[in-house]
Amino acid sequence: MVVHVSSGNPADERGTLLAFVEAQRGAIRRSVLGLSREQAVSRPSKSELTLGGLLKHVAEVELNWLRLAQRRENERARTQETWGEAFVLQDGETVEETLAFWAGVAAETEEFIRAVPSMDDTFPLPAAPWFPKGEHVSMRWFLVHLVEEIGRHAGHADIVRESLDGQTAFGLVALEQEAAESKAADAAGAA
């Protein structure tokens, strides 16, 4: 679901693009809100996509693009043989751990983008049949691509979640807000 993304300061291009990336992350995070592990790994349709698998995939995709932009080795790089594992929570992997991993990647993405000298700085695209040979892309492209990639999978997650238990994106936004208000009330009561 699209939620309003405030530009805050319209002149802050980095902040605006990071806010749009975060809005798409939020849609994926909400898709697993309140689910058991069994529900997170279930396939409610003919598709092989699961909510846990989508969550893991987008976290690893963001890490991969971040490492490319940083020109660093990806510690979770996939091979042709392990590519399918990126879409499945393996035994022992949990939604909570995957959310925590992704939160770390997201924080690193923001820190990196805030520190690059210019959004016009570039990095090379990886060698792949679907990318032009020798092309470089900007930091701006990197963030817009994350919006595109995570947004595509947020749409998948909406469909999987609704197929799973009838919960829609609007309902999940309300559920998230209720949980945040309850947590704030508990914290205020404990103080």
Where do the domains of the chain lie?
13-169
Write down the pLDDT at residue 1: 41
User: Residues 79-83: what's their mean pLDDT?
Assistant: 89
* Residue 10, pLDDT above cutoff 80: no
106 vs 12, residue with greater confidence = 106
Write down the pLDDT at residue 136: 97
Q: What is the 3-state secondary structure (H, E, C) of 136-191?
A: EEEHHHHHHHHHHHHHHHHHHHHHHHHHHHCCCHHHHHHHHHHHHHHHHHHHHHHC
Average pLDDT, the chain: 93
Q: What is the pTM of this model?
A: 0.92
Class of domain 13-169: mainly alpha
